[in-house]
């Protein structure tokens, strides 16, 4: 197998221009560049959120490229680890994200919650609470089913 150098999430949205603005407000994203078709549709854009590069493109339904809103939901979430999860969560909600799962302390040693952005993508925002061994994490996970 060839060596992987990087792995980029590539989001499909109904309005990349508005998505870039939202991600700037919600997560402090910085636009790196965009490629725009003559009709104004964005074929490719890249933004930076912290150290991570996120790629985006407008939907191209004629090529089967559709975002979660067009498909009725998403099948994944982006897990973003932050220093102050309470502040990050509030910032995302204030920017227009909706709460899917409120913040709470988790058995795996993280405080986390999930928001859905206006374009249908879900973001699991988490912050470190404690380091938990795999064995302890499994014990706590099992205990959840024995309540």
Give 55-92 pLDDT, tens digit per residue: 999 999 999 999 999 999 998 999 999 999 999 999 99
The stretch 118-143 carries a mean pLDDT of 96
Edge-to-edge strand ranges of the sheet holding 110-116? 77-81, 122-128, 110-116, 98-105
**Calpha distance 104→76 (Å, rounded):** 20
pTM value? 0.91
> pLDDT over 90 for what percent of the chain?
93
Please name each of the domains of the chain with its CATH number: 10-145 (3.10.180.10)
Give 85-127 pLDDT, tens digit per residue: 999 999 999 999 999 999 999 999 999 999 999 999 999 999 9
């Amino acid at each position: 197998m060839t060596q992987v150098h990087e792995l980029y999430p590539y989001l499909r949205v109904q309005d990349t221009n508005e998505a870039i603005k939202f991600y700037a407000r919600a997560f402090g994203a910085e636009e790196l560049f965009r490629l725009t078709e003559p009709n104004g549709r964005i074929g490719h854009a890249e933004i930076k959120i912290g150290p991570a590069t996120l790629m985006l493109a407008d939907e191209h339904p004629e090529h089967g490229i559709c975002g979660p809103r067009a498909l009725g939901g998403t099948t994944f979430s982006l897990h973003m680890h932050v220093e102050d999860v309470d502040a990050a969560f509030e910032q995302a909600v204030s920017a227009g994200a909706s709460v899917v799962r409120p913040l709470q302390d988790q058995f795996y040693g993280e405080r986390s919650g999930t928001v859905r952005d206006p374009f249908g993508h879900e973001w699991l925002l988490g912050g470190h609470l404690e380091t938990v061994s795999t064995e302890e994490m499994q014990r706590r996970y099992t205990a959840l089913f024995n309540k």
